[in-house]
Amino acid sequence: MADETPEAAPRRALKRKRRWWIPVVIVLAVLLAAGGGIGLYAWSVSKKFGDSLNRGGEVTLPEPTFTIPTTTPKPGSKAAVNFVLLGVDKREGDVGRSDSLMIAHLSGDRKSAYLISFPRDMWVPLPGRGHDKINAAYAYGGTALTVQTLQELLQIKVDHAAMIDMEGFLALTDAVGGITIDNPDAFTIDGERFDKGEIELEGERALLFVRARKQLPNGDLDRARNQRLVLQGIISKGLSPAMISNPSAFSGFMGKVAATMTVDEGLTDDVIRDLVLSLRLGSDDVQQMQAPIKGFGTAPTGASIDVVDEERLAELGTAIREDTVDEYYKRYEDE
């Protein structure tokens, strides 16, 4: 059993205004850009995106091994949709790991979306594997075990999954001609110096920047922050008016983005188009949460872990099933 350290500050906070988690920014931005317009230009971009997108392969959706309580959509609403989004870091000779993991819950009325992040060190039961860190699910069984873990953990049905090759996506700094970010911490990694303040990143230098961990004051937390900074830079420049006004450049960029993504077979062009056309989201309608944690502990192996708040997690699962995440969010947003 994991022992929660008494001095550890509880991490119940749901609202992470500064956190734009990796896969969500990519997927939502891409879907909106690919399907949010009409006319020949929008059609050509959408086609380029769809033609370049990888489907199937290792991204599979296992059927739940348990009976999910039947719920009826709210009057005038469709069924809610749940996506599992994974940012995966693969290196030569390595099976890969889930570098970031999130559920995106799209409400039945399509007026709100909730992005629920799962810290990589959450200590949870993995089906057939006993307890382990949640990001180990991908190493043991790919997207199938990751999805199965989340389904059983929350007692929900996952509708779609998307996996992003983080190294491939981060290499898109080349495709946009480099990016400028405001680096919070000066550090050196593999002989490469990154000064505090505004710095230029492109190609291999960008990849090196986001791999730094031990060189940073807060380790993995700062590494995740740096990943977000680079990804925000890519998205911001890739979806800028200057890029969008250049049909050839924008279409090429969207194709390269799609090439870094693999989705389940069921997420067809028609499904993407229908989802996008049904969206009623405004700029303030996408909320961020973190799966409930009540502190820190130590695994039997001696590794540091995040201790799950099981009561709150069960409450979250019920809210996702019954499409009442809005009520759950309001209940805990100020903690």
For the cut 90, the answer to whether the pLDDT of residue 272 exceeds it is no
| Full 3-state SS string of the chain | CCCCCCCCCCCCCCCCCCCCCHHHHHHHHHHHHHHCCCHHHHHHHHHHHHHHCEECCCCCCCCCCCCCCCCCCCCCCCCCEEEEEEEEECCCCCCCEEEEEEEEEECCCCCCEEEEECCCCEEEEECCCEEEECCHHHHHHHHHHHHHHHHHHHCCCCCEEEEEEHHHHHHHHCCCCCEEEEECCCEEECCEEECCEEEEECHHHHHHHHHCCCCCCCCHHHHHHHHHHHHHHHHHHHCCHHHHCCHHHHHHHHHHHHHCEEECCCCCHHHHHHHHHHCCCCCCCEEEEECCEEEEEECCCCCEEEEECHHHHHHHHHHHHCCCHHHHHHHHCCC
Helix axes 247-259, 39-52, angle to 10 degrees: 30
Is 32 contained in some domain?
A: yes
Name the residue range of residue 176's domain.
171-238
Structure tokens at 23: 């896969």
- Do 81 and 212 belong to one domain? no
Q: Which tens digits make up the pLDDT trace of 73-100? A: 777 788 999 999 888 766 555 555 566 7
The domain that holds 142 is classified in CATH as 3.30.420.590
Mean pLDDT lowest for which of 119-133, 244-258, 295-309?
A: 244-258
Q: Examine residue 202 and state whether it is found in any structural domain, yes or no.
A: yes
| 162 & 178 share domain | no
User: In whole angstroms, what is the distance from residue 172 CA to residue 166 CA?
Assistant: 10
Structural domain count, the chain: 2
- Same-domain check for residues 160 and 214: no
Domain-located, residue 89: yes
Q: What is the pLDDT of residues 274-321, one digit of tens each?
A: 776 777 766 567 787 889 989 889 999 999 898 999 999 999 999 999
Among residues 238, 272, 292, which one ends one of the domains?
A: 238
Bridge partners, residue 189, by sequence: 192
Report if residue 321 sits inside a domain. Answer: yes
Same domain for 175 and 162, yes or no, is no
Do 36 and 160 fall into the same domain? Answer: yes
Residues 43 and 179 placed together within one structural domain of the fold: no
Residues 186 and 111 in one domain: no
Domain check: are 272 and 153 in the same one?
Answer: yes
- Are residue 142 and residue 277 in the same domain, yes or no? yes
Rounded to an integer, what distance in angstroms lies between the CA atom of residue 84 and that of residue 177?
A: 31
For the segment 37-46, the average pLDDT, to the nearest whole number, is 61
Q: What per-residue confidence (pLDDT) applies to 247?
A: 80
Question: CB under 8 Å to 329, separation ≥6 — which residues?
Answer: 14, 114, 287, 289
Q: Which residues pair with 130 in a beta bridge?
A: 126
Q: Are residues 27 and 148 in the same domain?
A: yes
In a domain, 306, yes or no: yes
**Per-residue pLDDT tens digits for 154-187:** 999 999 998 888 777 777 888 888 999 999 999 9
Q: What CATH number did the domain enclosing 201 receive? A: 3.40.630.190
36 domain residue, yes or no: yes
Position 21 scores a pLDDT of 37
Residue showing tokens 């409930």: 292
Q: Are residues 278 and 159 in the same domain?
A: yes
**13 in a domain, yes or no?**
no
Identify the weakest region by mean pLDDT among 38-42, 225-229, 277-281, 286-290: 38-42
Domain end point (choices 183, 203, 238): 238
Question: Are 115 and 160 in a shared domain?
Answer: yes
The closest of 104, 128, 65, 70 to 322, measured between CA atoms, is 70
**pLDDT at position 128 over 70:** yes
